[in-house]
Each structure stands twice: as structure tokens, then as C-alpha cells.
Amino acid sequence: MNGSGRRRGSGRLAGIVLLSILIASIADHAVASWIRRDVKGTGENGDIGTYRRIGPETGPQVFIAGSSLLQFGLEWSDISAELGLGIENWGVAGSSPEIWEQSQQVAINTALTIIGVSLYDLNEYHLSAGRAAIVPFSQTVRDLWASGADWQFARRVLNQYSLTYVRRIFPTVGDSDAVLVGLRAKVREKLALAGAAEDKETALFLPSQPVLEFGESTAKVSDWPSARLMRRLALLSAENGGRHAFNGPKELALHRMLLRARNQGRVIVVVLPVTQAYLDQFGTPDVLRRFENSIAQAQELVPDAHIIRLDRVPGMTSHEYFSDLVHLNSAGRRLATAIFLKHIPPIFEQ
């Protein structure tokens, strides 16, 4: 084959490769769009999160920092009414302190900061898919170095940054579990198969309007068949490698947040519960001891921060109060809110 023939062959091969990538990208975008509520994402337009608020828009505000566990875990309209203050939040799916810290920097006129943490949120091995799109690369590198992270963990975290570029072409890359769960739910729904209503009932729906108001959730983990419970626990174990640690970048970000919040006004840290099944699977004595040490260190760093331990309320880990392994349902939310509100007057009397 002469030179021109080889060039034509190479050109055809390149064209086939590019066309294949284009077709695969279109298909992947279609899948992501079809199951968009089930695929993890960042905030709107890749910013610091989806802004939601409730209550008075003027005057001092309450900044709440937390994942969907905190957002779904309390009745924010009741809390706003009790405080007489507006409440604002920038939400990102599966987020944790290193992401919340970015939104804290744009919260202005903050009189009170409420930070929600849990055994699930603070686990360093639980990584948010939106981290690399929000947290500066330089900050992540500094935190990995300062925390003495091992190379295997550091590589996993840093790989998220390269994935942000790949996701522009293939938006579902790195979210295989979420995609499989979403596809199964969609297929069941479209074909009216058994379990479609069950899948819909256990999904978490964010409001279409930027308001911190969440609808009723009557789903209960106590109603799950054992096979579903085992499957969800297996997915969580695969995501975090069956490991929990609390002495990495998340802890450093939480400490910076507490110091900044103290300079802005009052600080409340809400320790949220998870299901008993989660505790039975992951809450070994060593894990719980290290988690308690992490909370104690936060309290020692900012002694005037008020710690509300919803996770220690008797019966709060009951499967009756959860719509999935970590999110409270409406019954759990009402109970948690009632307990939270009991702590408010003493805090503001001090």
C-alpha cells in the first residue's frame, strides 16, 4: 500500500473512531437525561449547588450546611418560624464538608450556622461525585497532604478531577451503581412491572422550586423485603469499600467551617441518625469510637458550638423513621424537628 493509501486508511479509521465516540456520547447523554433524578450530579451549571431558601429574605439569615440527610431531616419552615429568620442552603447530591465549605464562602449576613453531620457524611471513603466540579484542585491537594492520606486514597480522590472532563462527553461515567438503579426503576415504571410503585416510593424528590420544603415521604425501610435491604447495604459497601475513616480532607474542611461560622455568629452542629441496619453493617466499636473522637475534636476546636445529638435519641435509628438507609421519612422528620426545636430556646438564652 502506498503512502496515500495508508493515509486514506488512517483517515477512515479516525473517522470511524470519532463517529463511534459521538454515537456513544449521544446515547450516554440520553440515558443520563432519562434517569436524571437517579444519577448523582453537581449543582446547577456546575456551580456550588442548587440554591434553596425559606422564610424572610431580608435581615440576618441562617446558613445550613449539609447533604440531603440534613435537608430532608428537619422541617425548615417550622425552624424558620421559631427563629424568625430566613434560612438558606446550597445543595449538592451526596455532599460533605469540603463542598459545603465552598457555599459557606458565599453566604452573607449569616447570624446562625447549622451544620448537619452523620456517620455517613463524614466518612472519608464516601466521595461525592460533585466534589471535583466544586472544590478547587489546589485545596484538595493541600488537604490530602495535610491529612497524611495514603496514595491509594489520594489517587481515588484526585481521579475525580480527570473524570470531570470525561463527564462532559459521557455524563454517567463513574456512576454505574446509580445508573443501574435508575435504569431498573425506569424500565419497571414503563413496563408497569412489579416493584415499580416500590421504586417510586423510595426515591427522594427535590422540589422544582428553590424552596426548602419537601413533600411527604411515607416509605419505610421496615417495609423492605430482606433482599432489598441486603442489596442496598451491598451497594453502600461497594461504594465505600466497607471502610469508614474520619481523619482526612472532610475533617479539615469541617474544622475550617466551624472557625468561620464562629466568627459569623452562633453555631449549631446537628449529628443526624442513620438506620440500625447501617449501624449493624458498618458501626463497629472502632468505627463508632473514631466517629465520636471526630465530634469531640470539633467541640474542642469551637467550644461554644452547640452539639445536638439526634443520633442518640432512643429509637431514632428505627427503620420506621427512614425512607432508605440514611434519609429520614416524614415521621422521622417530624420527630427530629420536635427534638431540635426543644434545644433552640436554651441556645438563644445564652
DSSP string, 34-48: HTTTTS---SGGGSS
| DSSP strand pairing (50-54 vs 86-91) | antiparallel
State the alpha helices, DSSP H only, in 88-225: 97-104, 131-134, 137-146, 151-166, 176-190, 196-201
Half-sphere exposure of 102 (CA within 13 A, CB side): 26
Asked if residue 66 has pLDDT above 90, the reply is yes
**Residue 237 confidence (pLDDT):** 93
Q: Can you tell me whether residue 145 is helix, strand or coil? A: helix
**Residue 110 confidence (pLDDT):** 94
Do you know the residue count of the chain? 350
Tens-place pLDDT, residues 147-186: 999 999 999 999 888 877 666 665 665 555 555 555 565 5
Average pLDDT, integer, range 311-334: 96
Is the model's pTM score more than 0.85?
A: no
**Residue 91 confidence (pLDDT):** 86
**Residue 215 confidence (pLDDT):** 80
Mean pLDDT of the chain: 83
Please, which pLDDT band fits residue 217 given cuts at 50, 70 and 90? Answer: confident
**Residue 243 confidence (pLDDT):** 94
The count of other CB atoms within 10 Å of the CB of residue 231 is 13
Beta bridge partners of 62: 87, 112
**Residue 284 confidence (pLDDT):** 96
**Residue 112 confidence (pLDDT):** 96
CB contact at 8 A, 68 and 93: yes
Better-scored residue on pLDDT, 111 or 178: 111
Better-scored residue on pLDDT, 345 or 314: 314
Tens-place pLDDT, residues 226-253: 999 999 999 899 988 899 999 999 999 9
State the alpha helices, DSSP H only, in the chain: 3-34, 68-73, 76-83, 97-104, 131-134, 137-146, 151-166, 176-190, 196-201, 226-240, 249-264, 276-282, 285-301, 330-349
**Residue 37 confidence (pLDDT):** 41
Tell me the CATH number for domain 44-123+204-349. Answer: 3.40.50.1110
The span from the CA of 96 to the CA of 88, in Å, is: 17
**Residue 184 confidence (pLDDT):** 61
**Residue 93 confidence (pLDDT):** 78
Residue 55's nearest CA partner among 75, 74, 73, 81 is 81
**Residue 44 confidence (pLDDT):** 39
**Residue 4 confidence (pLDDT):** 63
**Residue 203 confidence (pLDDT):** 47
Average pLDDT, integer, range 268-272: 97
Tens-place pLDDT, residues 115-131: 999 999 999 999 988 88
Please, which pLDDT band fits residue 350 given cuts at 50, 70 and 90? Answer: low
Q: With the CA atoms of 202, 208, 214 and 218 taken in that order, what torsion angle do they form, in degrees rounded to the nearest 10?
A: -30
User: For 321, which DSSP code?
Assistant: G
Residue 112's nearest CA partner among 344, 337, 275 is 344
CB contact at 8 A, 111 and 265: yes
Asked if residue 41 has pLDDT above 50, the reply is no
CB contact at 8 A, 89 and 64: yes
